[in-house]
Structure 1
Amino acid sequence: MSLSLGGAYQSQASLNDRFLTYHGGGLDWAAVDDGTRALPAELVGQTVPAVVSSSGVIGTPIYAQSVSNALVLDRLTRAMGPAEFAPYRSSPPLNHHLSAAGGGSSRRLHGLAGYFAGVSYKQDWSFFEDAISSRYQSGTQLKNRYRDTRSLGTVNWSGMVNLAYQPLEDHDLGFTFFYNQNAIDDARLQEDGFERSDPASTFRKFKLAWTERHLSTYQIKGDHTLRKMNDLKFDWLVSLTQTTQDEPDARFFNDIDSGQGPTTGANSVPIPSNPTRYFRALEENNYNVKLDWTVPFANWTRAPGAIKWGLFDSSSERAFEDRAFGYFGGGSYGGDPNRFLTLEQLGLEGVRTNYVRGNPRSLTFLWNRYVHSFDSAYDGQLGIYAGYVMGELPLLDTLRLIGGARYETTDLFVRSESYRDSSVTGLKTNDSSVVQSDVLPSLGLVYSARPNMNVRLSYSQTIARPAFREMAAYFSYDPVINDFVEGNPLLKMSSIDNYDLRWEWFPRPAELVSVSLFYKALRNAIERGDLKQEGDVITFLNRERATLFGLELEARKRLDFFGPPLTGFSLGGNVSFVQSEVQLTREELFNKRQFLPSAGGTRPLYDQSPYVLNLDLSYHNPRAGTTASLVFNVAGPRIAITKLNTEDVYEQPAPSLDLVFSQEIGRQVTVKFSAKNLLDPAIERTYGKNSNLLYDSYSRGVTLGVAVVYDF
């Protein structure tokens, strides 16, 4: 049994009274919304009628319908109730976590049984302020710029049970259950804003959001060796994974101050121009069945080989709903977004009767604030059916051939419904499908120059499928990338030809030296880029062809060969150098050169760094119970968003340095110390690889942690 308890100080968040937060629910600490943010029952499955200003002539069918719609809209608006749109400041406590785990084994029912169970809980806070968020257009023309402050509170807890049973020798059965509950509370303020649409005014953006995720996995498996059938091995696995993601009552409030006080709803206010509340819900179930057989054999020199074959069946179903409620109507709020939705400002203010020649003719509805809904949804199904056969054949004492093929079918379907027309098809309802069969070969040679040295040469073909969201043709705000996104219903699957050559040497146990060359040819690679010239909506696009060539060096060496003082130390790392290339289409190049005359006809592949470096220095002394590691990594600039009329947006290098130290105290207690993100670099995205035009910039801060582990 093991118990662990720890805490951490986050340099930018912990105990900082400038941290942003808002009033949430009573179970936020458990990563569960208690219903505080839930969509009111009156609006579940209910269509919100459009606003009615006039009833029409009294006594007509139009009059009756208009009065009914006005009363329904008033009732639903009031049911939504008041809401906060702006955060307040309050200091969070230290980050903290705790966990417990234990297991054992015994003989049960004439077999050997074992179990392991564990639970963990973690709560973290992070914060940045005085960050920069900006957008450019038409080459280097500033479109908008904001001073950015953001707070994140994260709660994560999980539990796992693992059961194993061996009824007979060579027959193992297992069951695993894993549960994870996660929530992120997000409060954001962007102020001192500039918008080119109204350069004399000042803008603000407020965001309050709660994202709750749940994951449950059930897995049963078996491993069997049949000695009487030439040691035939049969492995099987059946799994079910259930995933949900809820975003209840995500609130966005953008306003403008032109000198007479802040107002909202103006045309120049960024999207959403009216205060808006989002309610999103996602459910997905995934089922997998995997069967594998292995038959060992000996070749003509009695060297061991094997033939393997197997079947795989996977099906996934996803349902997603997005309901947005925008608030319209007049009335001031004094510049405080939290005074925008008060009880007295909701729904109908009154009804005026209009007379003609002294007789009542019609009604005029006088509105305060009222809601208008913008609803979107999509459903997706994915079926993957596959079978493979492969063999490992020793050709010589020093040469092995490994090869085979996988036959795989894909049946992917997405139906999306959006409140606005798709920019790709011009339709509100779109059906997208990919039905495809692929034969994916692989072939490799392994030459053992020495017992501890190998040369590997291989070729394989792989595929990549578009995600449900990438194909769903609906428009929404993505809080992860802080941009609006619209899916592309015309996406295709990607295919990749992989060529690899690797030399590896193992001088001593736990030591490695290797050199690898690799080349990839990609067809229809999926990239994230601008949907339109304006650059305010991101979509997903297939790139017809791309190539990638690289070199990787990897090494791990124990340092005791320098002398006894360095016993227990080891140094390891790897570095990759990659050259990737994508050819721009004629249309892309023409658009780019309208604003950037020197734009080239090629660029690197999306999300591919030209270099990646990982280094670690480790120390392990079992006798003293001491372990320590210093880990450094950095990746070169890589394209985060492809642009149409500006330089592409690059994620700039952000070197990371972490230190972890642990010390055993006696036989039962271990004390651990960690220092993460010691370099604390600026996290920047820029227009162009070598540019001062910021897309956004912020820093994470340093986290110092201490934990105590008790084993008994």
Structure 2
Amino acid sequence: MSRSAFAVVLAAVSGTAFAQAGAGLRGRLTDAKTGEPLLVCPVSVISGGNTFVETDLEGNYELSLPPGTYDVRFWCDQYEGVDVKGVKVADGFLQRDLALKPVEGSFVEEVVVIGTVDTQSESGLLLQRKMANTVQDSIGSEQISRSPDSNAGDAVKRVTSATVVGRNVFLRGLGGRYAATVVNGVSLPSTDPDGHQAPLDLFPNALLSTLTVQKTYSAELGGAFAGGVLGIETNSYPATFQAQVKLSLGVNSESTFHSRRSYEGGSLDGLGIDDGSRGLPESVPEDRALTTRDSQAEEVSESFSNVWSSRRSGGLPNGGLSVSVGNTHQWGGGRAFGYLASATFSRSAAATNADVQTFRIDEQELIPKDLYRSEFGATNTNLGALLNAGYQWDALNDVSLLALFSRSTEDSAQYLSGFSDTDGANFDATRLKFAQRMLSFNQLRGTHRFGTEGAVLRWQGNVSVTHAEEPDTRDLLYLEDDGVRRFRQAANSGERFFSTLSDTSGGASVSLRVPVGRVEFTTGASAQLSQRRFDARRFAFLFVGEDPALLSLPAEEMFSAENLGPSFLAEERTFLTDRYDGFQSLYAGFASAELPLAERLRAVAGVRVEVFSQQVDSGSPFAQGQAPESTDRTTVNPLPALNLVYGLTDKANLRAGYSFTVARPQFREIAPFLYYDAIRRRSVSGNPDLVSSRIHNADLRWEWFPTESEVFSVGGFYKHFIDPIEQVVVSSIQGDVGYRNADGADALGLELEGRASLGRVSPVLSPLRVGANLSLIASRVNLGSNQQISTSESRPLQGQSPYVANVNVSYTRESSGTEVSVLYNVFGRRISEVGFNRLPDTYEQPFHRVDLALTQQLSQQLRLKLTGTNLLNQAAVFRQLGTDVFRYRPGLTATAQVEWSPL
């Protein structure tokens, strides 16, 4: 960004949070000729007091004053000031709008005001986007507040070309390793043992300031870049004292007060906390594997809780509570201290009843294989806390500390019943599971400016701890034999699974921006280290007795105390690959330069060099066999980037970008062993021969900002992948999969966006705003010789939607404090499961989602928000060759939220 553009951005300081009570003067300052708002203009009391404020990004100001008579000055650089004398203030606020005249014959002088863009507002985000060096899209807390979205995963779907599959974001149709997520500029580890991203539902909206998707690469970013980078910025401290309490209550048409699957758990399950009853019993030996011949086998068997079966219970309403408080204290000399503390808790119930089919194929016809009913019930809890504090000792230097904690749990019961072609019998299966995920992120960062036009030094240090635990997951399977229901002793039946994942990561970075003439140079370095351990143990209850009639008893009777010992004993079934230790390091340095090539053309060119190392050691001491060989690899990647920005007019840009980036395999994908994916009931094999994918990225975008809150844009992109890493089927029996480098892949896309006020059509329609975006994406992966037994040699990227569309219409009536928003989202059909052994790919069908949000100011301190999601109550459908193989309804959710701001 050029110095003049940088000055404009810095001049857009955060708008003051206007008080909802008291007395004083409020209004708007505009340019008398153009009508444009005047920002960062002082409104000061010159007689009767010494208070002053500055206008915000929209030219608004609010000057709080006690009752009395005042002389007030309105002034802005390069404009004729106005003094208004004898302003009488009683109760309430007086409205005073002024249009200031530009000073005739004045010359344009660059004025730098140190501050930050108010990126929570839509206009602030658009200003930031207009001045940015890269192609990016974003959504702020102001826009999020108009929607029914509850966490980052819900909110990011409103961004152009962003979709969410499960808990992970897909950017431009690319997910997993191809879509990075960073928090305040730092990449976080995933809480999923087999995942790439930190799950977005760990970030409730109460903690969010902005979500920004950067779509073209720049050297300041980490080199693992393909679809884009989702940047999560947490809330910062407010300019004035603020306190808020939010209480919400909601219902879901599928789960609330409806019968759903659950089970007898711990005493603190309602709070999402395991009371210890699911912990690995103390009697389980820690120095050896448990066998049925062990002298402690009976004692250990009896120490497990005897809960195996699910039950039906009514789902309670959803609820949430969040509290926040913040302020900034200012002293002379530009010193200031600010803070924001917030905490949030939510609890929701879910019920999913689905019809499931599996098939075999005869020529081109699907033949039914398994047909069963899935009943799933879950209780989800989320707890989040944030502390953000900063100190500014003058206008040029500041430092801030962020502490973020997020914890989520899913307590679930699943019951399957139907016919299994593999077993040739009717069956019923039960899974009881309690999964908890925790993230703690701590960051210290600072900014130091050496004069208003001098160098800028930025630095940060961070430490994060991720922990995921799955204590005592229980699997049970019964088959019907000659009309008699019998327990089947087999893998994933009568088994209990315990796992923990811990990841500790730390690092630091520093960058220096130095203007030299008309060129701005930026250089920096970073280091990020991560230590990960995954550890799991498995135990199976084996029939060792002589009376087979016991196998037809219900599980709690079958595994009762009198039967444990003589008839059933627990035995260790831990896999050799159920433990691994991984270490990862990333050292990087970069240099870039921003230089004007012409009056309206600027270029930002840079290169980043990354040294990436991975080490994986595996092998559980509770399993037999020889531990796999360790994996140790180091790669060096130079990553160039070029971005061009041409200012067609003061309100329109043409952007182009090219970069060469990388996508790397994760720990589990390079370890040379098999591990079991319990969710999909198949084995997954690592591949130590995997190499990193390299990606050529090219972008072109035109964008027009007719006003500070409107935008229209048209863009396109192309990506070529070299050695893309793909998950392919390697066994036709159970559909086991592995990882291979495909020959190549390509992705081509078109992105359209528009946001405007209907006041352009008629002044009567000015309270209405409309926004829409559309992405059209085509991709193709060529598996070549790595096809194995996959059905297709060439197919679209797994999880990539050919189109994604969003439409929103909002109505605002400031006089009554009413705001209504209707939002629509749809994605095109996408591959959810890759076909194998001539079976076709399974596609998730388009899902049309309509949401509604109504906000009403009830009083100066009280606000009501009513929301409805999935108003069409559409079902999620997965199909193979036109036949539904999985179908369920997520249900319609309605929520009422009351927000109280006591001051």
TM-score by length of 2: 0.69
**1:182 alignment partner, one of 400, 408, 417:** 408
Query: Structure 2 CA distance, aligned partners of 1:290 and 1:634?
Result: 39
**2:888 alignment partner, one of 685, 695, 698:** 698
Write out per-residue CA displacement over residues 238-294 of structure 1, whole angstroms, 9 at most, x where no aligned residue.
11110111100000111211224222335xx6x42x310000011111112111111
**1:5 alignment partner, one of 239, 247, 251:** 247
Deviation at 1:180, TM superposition (A): 1.4
Deviation at 1:452, TM superposition (A): 1.1
Compute the RMSD of aligned alpha carbons.
2.4
User: In structure 1, the residue corresponding to 2:723 is in which secondary structure?
Assistant: strand
User: In structure 2, the residue corresponding to 1:339 is in which secondary structure?
Assistant: helix
- Tell whether the 8 Å contact from 1:6 to 1:98 is kept in structure 2 after alignment: yes
Query: Structure 1 CA distance, aligned partners of 2:368 and 2:793?
Result: 25
Q: 1:276 to 1:456 in 2, by over 3 A?
A: same
**More displaced stretch, 528-537 vs 407-416:** 528-537
Counterparts of residues 400-415 of structure 1 (less than 5 Å): 400-415=602-617
Partner of 2:574: 374
Q: 1:414 to 1:167 in 2, by over 3 A?
A: same
**2:775 alignment partner, one of 555, 572, 576:** 576
Partner of 1:134: 358
Where do 4+ consecutive residues of structure 1 move more than 6 Å?
Answer: 418-422
Amino acid at match of 1:503: W
Deviation at 1:225, TM superposition (A): 0.2
- Tell whether the 8 Å contact from 2:744 to 2:783 is kept in structure 1 after alignment: no
Query: Structure 1 CA distance, aligned partners of 2:666 and 2:734?
Result: 22
Partner of 2:439: 215
**1:342 alignment partner, one of 534, 556, 560:** 560
- Tell whether the 8 Å contact from 2:289 to 2:622 is kept in structure 1 after alignment: no
Partner of 2:820: 628
**1:391 alignment partner, one of 593, 599, 611:** 593
Q: 1:530 to 1:677 in 2, by over 3 A?
A: same
Query: Structure 2 CA distance, aligned partners of 1:413 and 1:133?
Result: 41
Counterparts of residues 165-204 of structure 1 (less than 5 Å): 165-192=391-418, 194-199=419-424, 201-204=425-428
Counterparts of residues 114-263 of structure 1 (less than 5 Å): 114-134=338-358, 136=360, 140-192=366-418, 194-199=419-424, 201-227=425-451, 231-263=454-486
- Tell whether the 8 Å contact from 1:529 to 1:642 is kept in structure 2 after alignment: yes
Query: Structure 2 CA distance, aligned partners of 1:613 and 1:497?
Result: 26
Amino acid at match of 1:450: T
Write out per-residue CA displacement over residues 189-213 of structure 1, whole angstroms, 9 at most, x where no aligned residue.
0002x222233x1011100000011
Point out the structure with the larger strand share. 1
Amino acid at match of 2:795: R
Counterparts of residues 42-61 of structure 1 (less than 5 Å): 42-43=283-284, 45-52=286-293
Partner of 1:321: 535
- Tell whether the 8 Å contact from 1:606 to 1:641 is kept in structure 2 after alignment: yes
**1:653 alignment partner, one of 824, 842, 846:** 846
User: In structure 2, the residue corresponding to 1:78 is in which secondary structure?
Assistant: helix
Write out per-residue CA displacement over residues 427-480 of structure 1, whole angstroms, 9 at most, x where no aligned residue.
752423431010000012211111111111110122122222333455555465
Deviation at 1:372, TM superposition (A): 3.0
Query: Structure 2 CA distance, aligned partners of 1:130 and 1:446?
Result: 50
Deviation at 1:163, TM superposition (A): 0.5
Query: Structure 1 CA distance, aligned partners of 2:496 and 2:415?
Result: 16
Q: Is 1:549–2:748 an aligned residue pair?
A: yes
Query: Structure 2 CA distance, aligned partners of 1:636 and 1:164?
Result: 44
Q: 1:535 to 1:529 in 2, by over 3 A?
A: farther
Counterparts of residues 504-583 of structure 1 (less than 5 Å): 504-583=703-782
Deviation at 1:600, TM superposition (A): 6.0
Query: Structure 2 CA distance, aligned partners of 1:538 and 1:620?
Result: 52
Where structure 1 has 5 or more consecutive residues not aligned to the other structure, the ranges are 53-68, 300-304, 350-366, 593-598
- Tell whether the 8 Å contact from 1:528 to 1:641 is kept in structure 2 after alignment: no
Q: How many residues are matched? A: 650
**1:92 alignment partner, one of 303, 312, 315:** 315
Query: Structure 2 CA distance, aligned partners of 1:564 and 1:84?
Result: 66
**More displaced stretch, 642-651 vs 501-510:** 642-651
User: In structure 2, the residue corresponding to 1:338 is in which secondary structure?
Assistant: helix
Deviation at 1:135, TM superposition (A): 5.2
Q: Is 1:276–2:501 an aligned residue pair?
A: no
Deviation at 1:47, TM superposition (A): 2.1
**2:327 alignment partner, one of 104, 107, 117:** 104
Query: Structure 2 CA distance, aligned partners of 1:306 and 1:195?
Result: 67
Amino acid at match of 1:323: R
Amino acid at match of 2:267: G
Deviation at 1:483, TM superposition (A): 5.2
- Tell whether the 8 Å contact from 2:354 to 2:887 is kept in structure 1 after alignment: no
User: In structure 2, the residue corresponding to 1:343 is in which secondary structure?
Assistant: coil
Q: 1:241 to 1:587 in 2, by over 3 A?
A: closer
Query: Structure 1 CA distance, aligned partners of 2:739 and 2:848?
Result: 29
- Tell whether the 8 Å contact from 2:431 to 2:474 is kept in structure 1 after alignment: yes
Counterparts of residues 637-676 of structure 1 (less than 5 Å): 637-645=829-837, 646-676=839-869
Deviation at 1:621, TM superposition (A): 3.2
TM-score by length of 1: 0.86
Query: Structure 2 CA distance, aligned partners of 1:530 and 1:435?
Result: 28
- Tell whether the 8 Å contact from 2:735 to 2:836 is kept in structure 1 after alignment: no
Write out per-residue CA displacement over residues 602-653 of structure 1, whole angstroms, 9 at most, x where no aligned residue.
2112222111112211223333322222221111122223232111222222
Query: Structure 2 CA distance, aligned partners of 1:569 and 1:528?
Result: 46
